[in-house]
Structures are given as structure tokens and as C-alpha cells.
Amino acid sequence: MQERKTAADSSCHDKDVSFLSRMENYDVAVIVPTLNEELFIERCLRSLKEQTFPFQRMDVMIVDGGSTDQTCNIAMQIATACPNVRLIHNPKRYQSAAFNIGVNASTAPFIVRLDAHTEYDTHYIERCMTLLRSHPDYGNVGGICQIRPGADTRMAEAVALLNKLRFGIGGADFRVGTKACETDSVPFGAFRRSVILQVGGMREDLARGEDNEFNSRIRKAGYKVYMDPDIKSAYYARPTLTASCRQMYQNGVSIGRLLHIDRQAVGFRHLVPFAFVSSLAICLIAALFTRLALYLLAAILAAYAAAALAADISACRKYGSRFFFLLPVLFFCVHVSYGAGTIAGISGKKH
């Protein structure tokens, strides 16, 4: 038996928090990075306990980056009742570091990296394991992510809808796909430990976008990243416009940085907001010298407005007219935020 330290208090800042438990030969290591997830961590873990894959065969690690809310208290209460659940301190805070900590803290042959902001279909783990075991050429498997509102407000509902629309931020297969396919990225992926050992862990110098870079290495090693729509999860989107724009800006920064690290980790869809914001900025600067730039700027904005209106009308027909005036504002704000973030990332700025 290997002893693990027991927390004397609820702080995750000062020590590695874990619990006494017998070393088991678990089938799956489940890594859940957290940082101030008190509103979501309990339902995330509840969905894990309800899996068709035996819960007791999972080595569940909540890897916390220094939460200042009740996340650690909630996690410790669950861990007290479940010997296979551990709370581990992540001094580097980033999710990439949490993933590496979890991989190194377990000996399970399969690794599943989940998100505390998400609930998982009861067959999630079982279907991931079935695919990995039957397809040795799959390096990462995952499924579709259904977006739910992060609060009970119209704005939160509109932000969640934005995540589902191709014109919004829904171009990835896992957001809009309906057929199983080889793809470039999946959320909350499942991996074979042997593949991780071959390609190396996630880059801990990446605050975001670490999954894009990691998946690129997996593909370069000759493995497939595979999306199966029967593997389902439900993610709670940011509840406000400000929070959504902040998230999109940070995501854009990660894409800009990835262009310096591995261009193959960046898809065409990631660069569309960058092209839009860059064209606006260039036209505004050029307008100081020629009136032609103003006409070009007007043409770009008119084309964007037409596309946004078409996407807005299509969405309202399907989801309701109450979003008609909100969606165009959301489209523009998140696209500009993402594009500006990409410019900042390319220029070397991290924040």
C-alpha cells in the first residue's frame, strides 16, 4: 500500500491534496483539470459515477490549479466516499500541466481527459474504450459536444446557440458533425498510454491550444484522431457576452502562438476571424491615405453583415425569433475578439 497525504484544510495552494487509497490496477485514468468549478464539478463527477463502464475501474483524478472557491471542498467530500477519486494539486495551473500530472500519477493503460464544465453521456467512457481497443490506429477518440446555457438568461441561451452555429464558433466536427469521421480535434479525448509515451505529454508552456498541438503530434506519429457522434457530452457555455469574448480572445491568442510552434496544428477555420479583423485594420489605416480604402472597408462590413443576417435568420427559424437582435451582436463581438487575440498571439503577446 502506498500512502497519500490527507488534506488538513480546503486550500489547494499550499500542498498536494489526495487521499489514502489502495494502489489498484485501474483500467482507465480519468483526468479532470479544475480551477474554480464549484458550480459544475459535482454534476461532472456524478455523470462519471453513472457510466456504464464500471466506476470502480476508473482512477479519477481531480487536478486542481489553485481554486479559491468551494471546488476543493466538494471534491474532497466526494473523494472521502469514493476511494478511487483523488484530488491533486497543480502548481502550474494550466490544463496542459494538469494532464501531464494525471498521466504520471497513474499506471492505467488508457487515459481520458475530461472537463469539469461538462456532463457526460452514460456510455461515454465505454464507447471510448471500445474504439481504442478495437482500432490500434486511433490515437485519440472523442465525440460530439452539445452546448448548454451557462445560466438561466436569454443572453446565456444566445451564447450557447452561438457555439452551435457554423457562422458563430461551431465549425469543428465535434460541434456540428453528425457522422463518424477522422478529424483534427475532439473534445475530452481518450488516449492509449502507449501513444502518449510515444509522442510525449502536452506542452506546459501553452495556456490554451495545447490540445490542438497535441493532436497534431498524434497525427504526425501516424495515428488518427477520430470523432464518433455516439460519444456525447454536454458543455456549459459562458453565461455572458463579456465572459464569452474574454474566452474567445484567449483562444485566439493560443492560435496565434501555435502558428509559431506548429502551423499544422491550426486549421483554416481558426484563421477566418484573423483575416476579417486584419482586413478591417488594414482598411482603416489605409483610409488615412486613400478614399478607396473606405469603400473597401464598407464592402467588407456589408458582406459580413449580409452573412451574419443570413445566419441569424436561419438560426431564428430553427431556435426562435427571441435571439434575432442578440445574435448579430454576439457574432461580431466574438469574431473580433478571436481575431484580435490571434493578432496578439502572432505578435508575441500572451495576454
How many domains does one find in the chain? 2
21 in any annotated domain: no
| Residue closest to 249 by CA, chosen among 161, 333, 146 | 333
Domain containing 157 — which CATH number? 3.90.550.10
248 in any annotated domain: no
User: Given 237, 272, 298, which residue is the final one in a domain?
Assistant: 237
Same domain for 268 and 148: no
Same domain for 166 and 205: yes
- Give the span between the Cα atoms of 260 and 157, in whole angstroms: 35
Same domain for 204 and 68: yes
Q: Report pLDDT for 18.
A: 45
Q: Report pLDDT for 170.
A: 65
- Give the span between the Cα atoms of 272 and 112, in whole angstroms: 31
Same domain for 324 and 216: no
Contact between 321 and 262 under an 8 Å Cβ cutoff? The reply is no
4 in any annotated domain: no
Same domain for 321 and 217: no
Q: Report pLDDT for 5.
A: 36
252 in any annotated domain: no
Same domain for 89 and 198: yes
Same domain for 215 and 101: yes
317 in any annotated domain: yes
User: Given 222, 237, 252, which residue is the final one in a domain?
Assistant: 237
Same domain for 283 and 228: no
Domain that holds residue 297: 263-347
Same domain for 35 and 145: yes
Q: Report pLDDT for 349.
A: 55
pLDDT string in tens for the chain (351-residue length): 333 333 333 444 444 444 334 446 899 999 999 999 999 999 999 999 999 999 999 999 999 999 999 999 999 999 999 999 999 999 999 999 999 999 999 999 999 999 999 999 999 999 999 999 999 999 999 999 988 998 999 999 999 999 888 898 866 677 666 789 999 989 999 999 999 999 999 999 988 899 999 999 999 999 999 999 999 999 998 999 999 999 999 999 999 999 999 998 898 889 999 999 999 999 999 999 999 999 999 999 999 999 999 999 999 999 999 999 999 999 999 999 999 999 999 998 554
- Give the span between the Cα atoms of 296 and 282, in whole angstroms: 10
pTM of structure: 0.86
- Give the span between the Cα atoms of 79 and 85, in whole angstroms: 5
Same domain for 45 and 157: yes
56 in any annotated domain: yes
244 in any annotated domain: no
Same domain for 275 and 167: no
7 in any annotated domain: no
Same domain for 182 and 275: no
